[in-house]
Structure 1
Amino acid sequence: MTRTLRGAVAAALAASLLALSACGSDDDSSSSTPAAAAGGTTSTAAPVKLSKVKLQLQWFTQAQFAGYFAAVEKGFYKDAGLDVEIIEGGVDIVPQTVLAQGNADYAIAWVPKALQSREQGAGITDVGQVYQRSGTLQVSKKDADLKTAAALKDKKVGNWGFGNEFELFAGMTKAGLNPGKDVKLVQQQFDMQALLKGDIDAAQAMVYNEYAQVLEAKNPKTGKLFTPEDFTVIDWNEQGTAMLQDAIWANTEKLESDTAYQAQTVKFLEGSFKGWIYCRDNPEECRDIVVAKGSKLGASHQLWQANEVNKLIWPSPKGIGIIDEAAWEQTVKIAQTTKNQDGDTVIKKAPEGLAYTNEYATKALAALADEDTKGADFEPIEVALKEGGS
């Protein structure tokens, strides 16, 4: 609340109070900016209190999460009344578990992995389906001629495991292959060295990360970088076995009982969506933001990643964050029916309770009515990769 103080004594008192308040501040609040003084009168604005929020990522700092970093750096979360701390993920971090245990307010996780955690008791809900398409590929060298899942028969097929393999297994199953018998499965590291060395015939890759790594490597036959023409890619979106990936997950119990958390969720989605809209329109700047945050991969790699991630988000026909029911049902079906090499499925039955909701994303989109939240005219940029992604 702003209060106008009149008279010399009142003005002096206000100045004294302002000086005292500048000596220290509440960690939960941002400092106010005094209004311009006129005619010997000083106006002060009360501090704007920001709600502290923790966001748990599912992997290391990179442009896969550029929209969230942009929302912090450009002040979109602050505009929504939030002070957001982004927590980096890693190999041993399960973001949906961090969320379920109360150590984060929101988490980024792939839908099938999160559904598995829900089945095991995690109280989490998908409130914002940011990625509309899957980014998982199976990559092979051109001369191997592995253009379809059926062509993987009797080949050495790499996969990461840890729940990342089910699109591949669904693709092989759909093609009539028994993944446990008809191919030689190889545990793959989170890189492309096994493919480049010829130890495997087909490697799992994210279009925004590992696929770029092969294009950043030198072709020993030419002495120049590999090109897309040197490889064959199986895209699970085209094969009909894609699963929903990066989504924003919230605490189910709080969504059902805590009105403050409900309102906060709308504001968090609002800031996050605005961050992704900004990265759609400013990929180079978002690349710079991620690199400055300490990305372990270089500038050209991160620009490639920002561009490819944009392709997974945009266009969003119903608006960014809205969960498409058909894509959700396909993900659940694959998670429930596709078996891995051990005969296990991701989940045993269809998810129960509040597994997802579009309620909060819809409200956030309404608050962003002046923004282009669908990106129907989105066009990706051209990215020139450098050796090693530098």
Structure 2
Amino acid sequence: MNLSLFRKLVLLITMLVSCQVNALDTINLDLRWDHQFQFAGYYAAIEKGYYRDEGIKVNLRAGSANKDNIDEVVSGRADFSISNSELILARLQGKPVVALSALFQYSPEILLSLKSSAINSLSDLKNKIIATNSGQLEPYLLTMLEMQGGSRGNPPSVIKKSDFELDSLITGEVDVITSYLTNQPYTLNKMGIDYKVMDPQAYGINFYSDFLFTSEQFMSKNYRLVERFKRASLRGWEYALANPDDVIPVILAKYPTTKSANALRYEAKMMVTLMRNDLVELGHINPTRINAMAESTIEFSEQSYDLASMDGFLASTEDKSILQFQWRLRFLLLFFIIAACIIGLYFRLHKKLRHEIKEHRLLASQLKAAVNTDPLSGIYNRRKFAKCYKHETERSQRYGGKFSIVMIDIDTFKQTNDTYGHEFGDEVIKKVASILADGVRDIDTCARYGGEEFILLLPNTDEYASGILAERLRKKIEQCIFIAPNDDTLTITCSFGVAQFQGDLAPKSRLGTQNSQHEGTISCADKALYVAKKNSRNRVCYWSVISSELELSA
């Protein structure tokens, strides 16, 4: 391809692209609350010109207690807005809302009580007064209570409506309030008031929050605009999370907020632990988790809803109708010109070079899979687990988080191998690995640790919740039927050891000595596993229980 022809193609492409430049599309975005870092991505997209790059002008409108954001969007008075799990209920009720992304992978909503109230667990909520934002128990609260046997047997005596205000809690008017992990704890810390947090994550409840959504009607008429708006918004969030100190002065200078710079910094820091863009793509929505949220909403609702009404809740920017003729003409022409350029350049490459590149890519892909994956079970190997464990340890130390380790060992595996052969033993390992991998969350790590041993890493999960998961997995494995080569019907069982990482201090060993930060939790889980196997096998043992018994015996 000569230089003259290339210049002509560039000029033609530039002219075609310039034809697309029209007046900016103006849209209205309603926020949930007053201006704060919770909406930093949208401020950043405006400030950095990301919306303008997509041909969009955004009118930001702060939320208020008198305005229902979902109704604003459905009625067309707003084009986009932000909501929490209430959006699921709205869809079940037949409101045509469409979720574009979920900014919070974990809901920031928590239960908050004063330490002086001696409310240490969900079971302590019986006969207590709880204030919620909606004046009723949300699905995530009901799910938490159900796990403790409390949603029906031990409900709070009084439920009040409150807008996350702390006054009623401090004065003793109520015992517990629903609040935001990113906001109210900061205020109590500043006031010097001790408090207790009950976080749904600790009970294995993983509800999304801060859905960016629109209406079906707006989506069907403006799907390209929706796609551009979403793209620019996520780009703004990427910038805001990477540069909070650049965005906070913008909020203070340009948007009326009641928060100080330090409060906004605290909010930004806590949001990182909830958005988890280091593990999943920013704004990612897992359909399975959406169905679980919908099922919880249906289960605890006084009305009957059909899960099928959730079809179409997750936005698809695919064009399912005939494109407008003008758009098709412009972009198809542009596509064919670019494709012709690429094909022309491609065939100028040497054939041998193309072949070598293909071989190198294939080899690199195979090597990458071999390095991180156990070839028999298909799950992560010990090498990959070590990387994940190191990352989670450093993250927990940095942000004061928690995680747990679960060690699993197949009971009497050597005897099974000797009796029925290694081929059958391999099938047992693969089946157990499959049950474990299918039984954990997307953010968890499941790996084969060696031989018949497996290991789980459970972020944001305490020892109690990890034990519940371990018991569920133990029962599922026990209920699985294996057919041996001689047609014997076998039941395979596993023993489990559970240990929780204790902040920036590694748990103590059985002898009372401190283990290293990168091995202590695994070592404690392994010791708990040892006790489980020693005590008749097919059981779950907790390191906290074992260590307490050892201290007493000492």
Same fold (TM over 0.5): yes
* Secondary structure class of the residue paired with 1:336: helix
The equivalent of 1:92 in structure 2 is: 66
Query: Cα deviation per residue 1:78-128 (whole Å; 9 max; x = unaligned)?
Result: 112211111111111111211111112211111x31233234442211011
Distance 2:96 2:20 in 1: 37
**Higher helix fraction (1 or 2):** 2
Query: Cα deviation per residue 1:292-318 (whole Å; 9 max; x = unaligned)?
Result: 211122222222222222322123634
Higher-RCO chain (CA-CA 8 Å, sequence separation at least 6): 1
Matched, 1:193 2:151: no
- Structure 2 unaligned residues grouped into runs of 5+: 1-17, 319-390, 400-554
Query: Cα deviation per residue 1:236-273 (whole Å; 9 max; x = unaligned)?
Result: 122133422111112213434x3xx1111111111111
* Secondary structure class of the residue paired with 2:209: coil
Distance 2:280 2:183 in 1: 27
Matched, 1:244 2:205: no
| Conserved? CA contact 2:182–2:271, under 8 Å | yes
| Conserved? CA contact 1:137–1:235, under 8 Å | yes
* Secondary structure class of the residue paired with 1:246: strand
Distance 1:316 1:331 in 2: 23
What are the within-5 Å matches in structure 2 for residues 149-228 of structure 1?
Answer: 149-161=122-134, 165-178=138-151, 182-190=155-163, 191-217=165-191, 225-226=192-193
Matched, 1:49 2:11: no
**Equivalent AA in structure 2 for residue 247 of structure 1:** F
Give the counterpart of 2:305 among 348, 351, 362: 348
Matched, 1:286 2:247: yes
Distance 1:100 1:66 in 2: 24
The equivalent of 2:299 in structure 1 is: 337
* Secondary structure class of the residue paired with 1:107: strand
* Secondary structure class of the residue paired with 1:311: helix
**Equivalent AA in structure 1 for residue 246 of structure 2:** E
The equivalent of 1:253 in structure 2 is: 217
Larger radius of gyration: 2
Distance 1:163 1:72 in 2: 36
The equivalent of 2:39 in structure 1 is: 65
Matched, 1:235 2:190: no
- Identify the range of structure 1 (96-105 vs 298-307) with the bigger mean alpha-carbon deviation: 298-307
- Identify the range of structure 1 (165-174 vs 129-138) with the bigger mean alpha-carbon deviation: 165-174
Query: Cα deviation per residue 1:207-260 (whole Å; 9 max; x = unaligned)?
Result: 11222222232xxxxxxx33xxx222110122133422111112213434x3xx
| Conserved? CA contact 1:241–1:334, under 8 Å | no
Q: Output the aligned Cα RMSD.
A: 3.0
The equivalent of 2:285 in structure 1 is: 323
Give the counterpart of 1:140 among 84, 109, 113: 113
| Conserved? CA contact 1:108–1:248, under 8 Å | yes
**Equivalent AA in structure 2 for residue 253 of structure 1:** Q
Distance 2:77 2:130 in 1: 37
Matched, 1:296 2:269: no
TM-score, reference length from structure 2: 0.51
- Structure 1 unaligned residues grouped into runs of 5+: 1-43, 218-224, 361-375, 383-390
How many residues are aligned here?
A: 306
> Where has structure 1 moved over 4 Å in runs of 4 or more?
44-48, 376-382
TM-score, reference length from structure 1: 0.70
**Equivalent AA in structure 2 for residue 154 of structure 1:** N
**Equivalent AA in structure 2 for residue 336 of structure 1:** I
- Identify the range of structure 1 (314-323 vs 179-188) with the bigger mean alpha-carbon deviation: 179-188
